[in-house]
Amino acid sequence: MDELEIKILANAESLFMKYGVKSVTMDDLAKEMGMSKKTIYQVAKNKEELIFKTLGNHFENEMAQCRQFSSENVNAIEELLSIAKHLIEQMRSMNPAVLYDLKKYYPKAYKLIEDYRFTFIYETIFNNLKKGVKQGLYRKDVNADIIAKFYVARADIIFETTLFPPAEYNWIDIYRESLLYHIRGIAAEKGFDYLAENFKKIK
Protein backbone atom coordinates (compact mmCIF):
# COMPACT_ATOMS: atom_id res chain seq x y z
CA MET A 1 0.00 0.00 0.00
CA ASP A 2 1.52 3.31 -1.08
CA GLU A 3 1.52 6.59 0.84
CA LEU A 4 -1.43 8.06 -1.09
CA GLU A 5 -3.66 5.05 -0.41
CA ILE A 6 -2.78 5.05 3.29
CA LYS A 7 -3.61 8.76 3.50
CA ILE A 8 -6.94 8.41 1.66
CA LEU A 9 -8.06 5.40 3.72
CA ALA A 10 -7.12 7.12 6.99
CA ASN A 11 -9.13 10.22 6.06
CA ALA A 12 -12.07 8.13 4.88
CA GLU A 13 -12.10 6.26 8.19
CA SER A 14 -12.06 9.53 10.11
CA LEU A 15 -15.07 10.87 8.18
CA PHE A 16 -17.02 7.61 8.42
CA MET A 17 -16.44 7.43 12.17
CA LYS A 18 -17.54 11.02 12.66
CA TYR A 19 -20.58 11.23 10.37
CA GLY A 20 -21.59 7.63 9.66
CA VAL A 21 -20.97 5.69 6.48
CA LYS A 22 -24.08 6.45 4.43
CA SER A 23 -23.94 10.24 4.71
CA VAL A 24 -20.30 10.64 3.58
CA THR A 25 -19.82 10.99 -0.16
CA MET A 26 -16.77 10.78 -2.38
CA ASP A 27 -17.16 14.54 -2.86
CA ASP A 28 -16.96 15.02 0.91
CA LEU A 29 -13.73 13.04 1.07
CA ALA A 30 -12.20 14.89 -1.87
CA LYS A 31 -13.10 18.23 -0.29
CA GLU A 32 -11.71 17.16 3.10
CA MET A 33 -8.42 16.13 1.55
CA GLY A 34 -8.16 19.01 -0.91
CA MET A 35 -7.83 16.71 -3.91
CA SER A 36 -9.88 15.66 -6.92
CA LYS A 37 -12.23 12.68 -6.93
CA LYS A 38 -10.16 11.37 -9.82
CA THR A 39 -7.24 10.92 -7.43
CA ILE A 40 -9.43 9.05 -4.95
CA TYR A 41 -10.72 6.81 -7.74
CA GLN A 42 -7.13 5.67 -8.24
CA VAL A 43 -7.48 3.93 -4.87
CA ALA A 44 -11.14 2.84 -5.03
CA LYS A 45 -13.37 2.69 -8.08
CA ASN A 46 -16.50 3.55 -6.05
CA LYS A 47 -17.70 4.25 -2.52
CA GLU A 48 -18.43 0.60 -1.75
CA GLU A 49 -14.87 -0.40 -2.59
CA LEU A 50 -13.57 2.55 -0.57
CA ILE A 51 -15.53 1.36 2.47
CA PHE A 52 -14.30 -2.21 2.01
CA LYS A 53 -10.67 -1.10 1.75
CA THR A 54 -11.01 1.30 4.66
CA LEU A 55 -12.35 -1.45 6.90
CA GLY A 56 -9.66 -3.86 5.75
CA ASN A 57 -6.96 -1.32 6.56
CA HIS A 58 -8.57 -0.59 9.93
CA PHE A 59 -8.55 -4.26 10.91
CA GLU A 60 -4.93 -4.70 9.82
CA ASN A 61 -4.02 -1.88 12.19
CA GLU A 62 -6.18 -3.32 14.95
CA MET A 63 -4.57 -6.75 14.65
CA ALA A 64 -1.11 -5.21 14.91
CA GLN A 65 -2.19 -3.24 17.99
CA CYS A 66 -3.72 -6.28 19.72
CA ARG A 67 -0.60 -8.35 19.07
CA GLN A 68 1.44 -5.57 20.62
CA PHE A 69 -0.77 -5.56 23.73
CA SER A 70 -0.38 -9.32 23.98
CA SER A 71 3.41 -9.16 23.76
CA GLU A 72 3.71 -6.23 26.18
CA ASN A 73 1.44 -7.59 28.89
CA VAL A 74 2.53 -10.71 30.72
CA ASN A 75 -0.63 -10.48 32.83
CA ALA A 76 -3.73 -11.79 31.01
CA ILE A 77 -6.13 -9.37 32.72
CA GLU A 78 -3.86 -6.41 32.03
CA GLU A 79 -3.89 -7.44 28.36
CA LEU A 80 -7.71 -7.25 28.33
CA LEU A 81 -7.64 -3.89 30.09
CA SER A 82 -5.15 -2.50 27.55
CA ILE A 83 -7.39 -3.63 24.69
CA ALA A 84 -10.38 -2.12 26.48
CA LYS A 85 -8.75 1.29 26.89
CA HIS A 86 -7.87 1.26 23.19
CA LEU A 87 -11.44 0.37 22.15
CA ILE A 88 -12.98 2.97 24.44
CA GLU A 89 -10.90 5.69 22.80
CA GLN A 90 -12.33 4.60 19.44
CA MET A 91 -15.89 4.53 20.79
CA ARG A 92 -15.59 8.13 21.96
CA SER A 93 -15.34 9.30 18.35
CA MET A 94 -17.65 6.73 16.74
CA ASN A 95 -21.00 7.82 15.32
CA PRO A 96 -23.78 5.40 16.40
CA ALA A 97 -24.90 5.18 12.77
CA VAL A 98 -21.69 3.52 11.55
CA LEU A 99 -22.56 -0.11 12.27
CA TYR A 100 -26.20 0.33 11.28
CA ASP A 101 -25.18 1.85 7.94
CA LEU A 102 -22.71 -0.94 7.20
CA LYS A 103 -25.13 -3.71 8.10
CA LYS A 104 -28.04 -2.26 6.10
CA TYR A 105 -26.36 -0.74 3.06
CA TYR A 106 -22.95 -2.41 2.71
CA PRO A 107 -23.30 -6.11 3.62
CA LYS A 108 -20.06 -7.09 1.87
CA ALA A 109 -18.11 -4.69 4.06
CA TYR A 110 -20.09 -5.69 7.16
CA LYS A 111 -19.05 -9.30 6.58
CA LEU A 112 -15.45 -8.15 7.13
CA ILE A 113 -16.46 -7.17 10.65
CA GLU A 114 -18.01 -10.57 11.31
CA ASP A 115 -15.01 -12.40 9.84
CA TYR A 116 -12.66 -10.32 12.01
CA ARG A 117 -14.66 -11.03 15.15
CA PHE A 118 -15.05 -14.75 14.60
CA THR A 119 -11.44 -15.34 13.59
CA PHE A 120 -8.96 -12.86 15.05
CA ILE A 121 -10.94 -11.69 18.09
CA TYR A 122 -11.93 -15.26 18.90
CA GLU A 123 -8.29 -16.38 18.67
CA THR A 124 -7.10 -13.43 20.78
CA ILE A 125 -9.58 -14.13 23.58
CA PHE A 126 -9.02 -17.89 23.39
CA ASN A 127 -5.28 -17.37 23.87
CA ASN A 128 -5.91 -14.85 26.63
CA LEU A 129 -8.05 -17.38 28.48
CA LYS A 130 -5.37 -20.04 28.23
CA LYS A 131 -2.76 -17.55 29.46
CA GLY A 132 -4.93 -16.47 32.37
CA VAL A 133 -5.57 -20.04 33.49
CA LYS A 134 -1.82 -20.76 33.49
CA GLN A 135 -1.18 -17.61 35.51
CA GLY A 136 -3.79 -18.56 38.10
CA LEU A 137 -5.87 -15.47 37.27
CA TYR A 138 -8.75 -17.43 35.70
CA ARG A 139 -10.55 -20.52 36.95
CA LYS A 140 -8.93 -23.82 35.98
CA ASP A 141 -12.24 -25.19 34.70
CA VAL A 142 -12.82 -22.37 32.18
CA ASN A 143 -13.87 -23.71 28.76
CA ALA A 144 -11.80 -21.41 26.54
CA ASP A 145 -13.67 -22.24 23.33
CA ILE A 146 -17.14 -21.53 24.74
CA ILE A 147 -16.14 -18.40 26.67
CA ALA A 148 -14.26 -16.95 23.68
CA LYS A 149 -17.39 -17.41 21.56
CA PHE A 150 -19.51 -15.75 24.25
CA TYR A 151 -17.09 -12.82 24.20
CA VAL A 152 -17.32 -12.47 20.43
CA ALA A 153 -21.10 -12.77 20.35
CA ARG A 154 -21.65 -10.10 23.01
CA ALA A 155 -20.55 -7.39 20.56
CA ASP A 156 -23.96 -7.70 18.90
CA ILE A 157 -25.62 -6.96 22.23
CA ILE A 158 -23.43 -3.96 23.08
CA PHE A 159 -24.32 -2.23 19.82
CA GLU A 160 -27.95 -3.36 19.69
CA THR A 161 -29.81 -0.06 19.44
CA THR A 162 -33.22 -1.62 20.11
CA LEU A 163 -31.99 -2.96 23.45
CA PHE A 164 -29.73 0.01 24.20
CA PRO A 165 -31.03 3.14 22.41
CA PRO A 166 -28.12 5.61 21.92
CA ALA A 167 -30.24 8.40 23.39
CA GLU A 168 -30.51 6.51 26.68
CA TYR A 169 -27.29 4.50 26.91
CA ASN A 170 -23.62 5.23 26.42
CA TRP A 171 -21.66 2.57 24.51
CA ILE A 172 -18.69 2.99 26.84
CA ASP A 173 -20.80 2.28 29.94
CA ILE A 174 -22.27 -0.82 28.28
CA TYR A 175 -18.85 -2.04 27.19
CA ARG A 176 -17.31 -1.50 30.64
CA GLU A 177 -20.10 -3.46 32.32
CA SER A 178 -19.80 -6.20 29.72
CA LEU A 179 -16.04 -6.48 30.25
CA LEU A 180 -16.46 -6.55 34.03
CA TYR A 181 -19.10 -9.27 33.63
CA HIS A 182 -16.70 -11.27 31.42
CA ILE A 183 -13.69 -11.10 33.73
CA ARG A 184 -15.66 -11.72 36.93
CA GLY A 185 -17.23 -14.77 35.34
CA ILE A 186 -13.85 -16.41 34.67
CA ALA A 187 -11.66 -15.00 37.46
CA ALA A 188 -10.02 -17.06 40.18
CA GLU A 189 -9.39 -15.43 43.57
CA LYS A 190 -6.06 -14.03 42.35
CA GLY A 191 -7.85 -12.57 39.33
CA PHE A 192 -10.54 -10.93 41.48
CA ASP A 193 -7.85 -9.24 43.56
CA TYR A 194 -6.05 -7.93 40.48
CA LEU A 195 -9.31 -6.77 38.89
CA ALA A 196 -10.37 -4.88 42.02
CA GLU A 197 -7.09 -2.97 42.02
CA ASN A 198 -6.91 -2.20 38.28
CA PHE A 199 -10.38 -1.98 36.72
CA LYS A 200 -10.64 1.67 37.71
CA LYS A 201 -8.10 2.37 34.94
CA ILE A 202 -10.89 1.74 32.41
CA LYS A 203 -12.78 5.03 32.03
**Quick one: which of 65, 61, 43 has its CA closest to 52?**
43
Q: Are 165 and 176 in contact (CB under 8 A)?
A: no
Task: Supply the Cα-derived Rg of the chain in whole angstroms.
Answer: 19
Q: Are 4 and 39 in contact (CB under 8 A)?
A: yes
How many angstroms separate the CA atoms of 11 and 91, rounded? 17
Domains and CATH numbers, the chain: 60-201 (1.10.357.10)
What pLDDT sits at residue 96? Answer: 84
Return per-residue pLDDT of the chain as tens, 203 residues.
799 999 999 999 999 999 999 999 999 999 999 999 999 999 999 999 999 999 999 999 999 999 999 888 789 999 999 999 999 999 998 998 899 899 999 999 999 999 999 999 999 999 999 999 999 999 999 999 999 999 999 988 888 888 999 889 998 999 999 999 999 999 999 999 999 999 987 87
* Burial class, 10, CB count within 10 angstroms (exposed 0-12 / middle 13-18 / buried 19+): middle
How many angstroms separate the CA atoms of 9 and 43, rounded? 9
| β-pair partners for 138 | 187
